[in-house]
Amino acid sequence: MSEVVRYEVEDGVATITLDDPDTRNSLSPALLDGLLGSLRTAGEDDAVRCVVLASSHEKVFSSGANLGAFGADVALIHRYEGTKRFVEVFKAIGELGKPTIVAANGHVLAGSLGIA
């Protein structure tokens, strides 16, 4: 799926792990794309009965949006696309049609509250 999101299925449970510990799993475009792709994969897989969202960081689920991706020096269209990804992720979770559990170990900050 993505270098910063891991996806695995075992016994009907899809585990989607945010795996960018150096940024405390900040919600960068790459992480949001990986998360969205993983959610879509889980939704389309009839063998998946439940989805667990987890973090590879031992103290933080996610620090929220990667603000560098939304800075003034970033082209307006890229900021728009980044903001749109948040909405797509929230919508994908809401429309998944399968129980979704957030296994938050530690802080859940800012934009990641919408995921949790």
Name which of 23-27, 78-82, 89-93, 100-104 the model is least confident about.
78-82
Q: Quote the pLDDT of residue 61.
A: 85
Distance CA 91, CA 22 (A): 27
Please answer whether residues 93 and 56 qualify as being in contact, where contact means their C-beta atoms are separated by less than 8 angstroms.
no
Residue 57 per-residue DSSP state: S
Q: What is the pLDDT of residues 17-64, one digit of tens each?
A: 999 988 998 988 889 999 999 999 999 999 999 999 999 988 988 888
pTM: 0.87
In order of their start, the domains of the chain are: 5-106 (3.90.226.10)
Single-letter code of the amino acid located at 34: G
Mean pLDDT of the chain: 87
